[in-house]
Amino acid sequence: MSDPLPTILLVDDEEHSLAAMRMALEDDFECLTAMSAEEARGLMQEHFVQVIFCDHRMPGTTGVEFLTEVREHWPETVRIIITGYTETGDMISAINDAGIYQFLTKPWHPDHLMMVAKNATDLFRLTRDHDRMSLEMRYLSRSVEAKIEEQRKALREGLGFEAVLRAVNSPMNAVIEQARQFATFDVPVVITGENGTGKGQLARAMHYSSLRSEKPYFEFDCSSVDDDILEIELFGARRGALPGLTSNKTGLFQKVDRGTLYLSGVSNLSPRLQLLLLRAVRDGAFRPVGGHELRHSQVRLLAGTERDLRIEVAEGRFNSELYYALSKAGLTVPPLRDRVGDLAILAQTLLFEMAEKHGKPVSGLSDDALQFLSEYDWPGNMRELENEMVRMLIFSQDALLGPELISRHILQASPVSDAETETSVDRVLIGTGTLKDRVEQIEMRILRETLTRLKWNKSRAANELGLSRVGLRAKIERYGLVDPKRSSEPTSGEEE
- Cβ proximity of 328 and 268 under 8 Å: no
Residues 122 and 56 in one domain: yes
Give backbone dihedrals phi and psi of 68, rounded to 5 degrees, phi first.
Answer: -65, -40
Residues 201 and 329 in one domain: yes
The domain boundary residue, chosen from 334, 367, 395: 334
Residues 323 and 445 in one domain: no
Give 198-222 as a 3 state SS string: CHHHHHHHHHHCCCCCCCCEEEEEC
Residues 205 and 313 in one domain: yes
- Identify the CA nearest to 326 among candidates 251, 222, 215: 222
Give a yes or no: residue 159 inside a domain.
Answer: no
Rg over CA atoms, the chain: 28
Question: How far apart are the C-alpha atoms of 112 and 116, rounded to whole Å?
Answer: 6
Q: What does the pLDDT profile of the chain (496 residues) look like in tens digits?
A: 567 889 999 999 889 999 999 999 999 999 999 999 999 999 999 999 999 999 888 888 888 889 889 988 898 899 988 876 555 555 566 566 677 877 787 788 888 899 999 988 988 888 887 777 666 655 555 565 666 666 655 554 556 787 788 888 889 999 999 999 999 899 999 999 999 999 999 999 999 888 888 888 999 999 878 888 899 999 988 887 777 776 888 899 999 999 999 999 999 999 999 999 999 999 899 999 888 888 999 999 999 999 999 999 999 999 999 999 999 999 999 999 999 889 988 999 899 989 988 999 888 898 888 888 988 889 999 999 999 999 999 999 988 898 889 888 888 775 544 444 444 555 666 666 677 777 777 777 787 777 677 777 777 777 777 787 777 787 777 777 777 666 545 444 444 5
- Identify the CA nearest to 28 among candidates 56, 47, 53, 3: 3
Residues 354 and 472 in one domain: yes
The domain boundary residue, chosen from 318, 334, 350: 334
How many domains does the chain contain in total?
3
Query: 436, exposed or middle or buried, with CB in 10 Å at 0-12, 13-18, 19+?
Result: exposed
Stated pTM of the model: 0.60
Residues 387 and 436 in one domain: yes
Question: How far apart are the C-alpha atoms of 235 and 251, rounded to whole Å?
Answer: 4
Residues 62 and 119 in one domain: yes
CATH number at residue 96: 3.40.50.2300
Domain interval for residue 442: 339-479
